[in-house]
Amino acid sequence: MVTWFGETQPLVPNTNETARYQNRRVVIKNTLKAFDLPISGNQPVVMQVKCMRGQVEAVVADGDTLTTEDRYAVEFKTTNNLHVYVYQVDAMGKSVALFPNSRFVKSNNPVSANSFRRLPAPGRWFYLDNNLGTEQIILIAAKNPIDDPNSFCANLIAGEKEAHLLAVESDAEFKTRGLGGIIHQANEKTDVEDDLSANSKTLYAESKVPGNVYVVQRVFIHE
């Protein structure tokens, strides 16, 4: 957000050219809040979803509602060296890989201990598409690389997916739903990242489930 204060907040009395020179200034403030979800016990990684409504930033709890007007981001913090995979998944199993994904943040796996990641990168936010329904953010973390994280993610949601399909067979208005794209802090959508349909994948539960994997899931309602 950019705000002009003009003559209302001078650094020094605006009485001569020297003073006016001092008052012609730019003040930059970092309004991004620090990661405020504490790590306790033996958690190797924690994750939270944040939203921006107007100029108010808040943590999204499980079951909270987001609209197409809200902006949101995913944050995670590690205590160990890990390979981390983050997905946004709709009720039909269609997913977008949020991490690793160079379109959203330049860093990749492995993620070192005591690291913080924000998806997308600071100064930008995700926005939702126009299709309504339930969204999931799923984080998968493991000490070693997972050969097929897409299929592993599908194993996690396969039961939910089958139940949901049965529930919507008679719902003619059922639609898939997902990530709409990225918007900058100044509410400017990017042309390249606006349509993410080509980056979406359908997940299939076909792979073996590796051991020593830590999973965090968050659910919100897109209305």
Q: Is 9 inside any structural domain?
A: no
Q: Is 131 inside any structural domain?
A: yes
Sheet containing strand 65-66, edge to edge, reads 65-66, 213-222, 133-142, 83-89, 94-99, 200-202
- Asked if residue 97 has pLDDT above 60, the reply is yes
Residue 200's pLDDT band, with cuts at 50, 70 and 90, is very low
Range of the domain at 100: 17-222
Q: Is 148 inside any structural domain?
A: yes
Q: Is 11 inside any structural domain?
A: no
Residue 88 per-residue DSSP state: E
Q: What is the pTM of this model?
A: 0.70
The whole-angstrom separation of Cα 205 and Cα 209 is 10
Higher pLDDT: 195 or 185? It is 185
Q: Is 169 inside any structural domain?
A: yes
Q: Is 3 inside any structural domain?
A: no
Q: Is 1 inside any structural domain?
A: no
Q: Is 142 inside any structural domain?
A: yes
Q: What is the pLDDT of residues 34-83, one digit of tens each?
A: 566 666 667 899 999 999 887 788 899 999 999 888 999 999 999 989 99
- Total of domains in the chain: 1
Q: What is the mean pLDDT of the chain?
A: 75
The whole-angstrom separation of Cα 57 and Cα 52 is 5
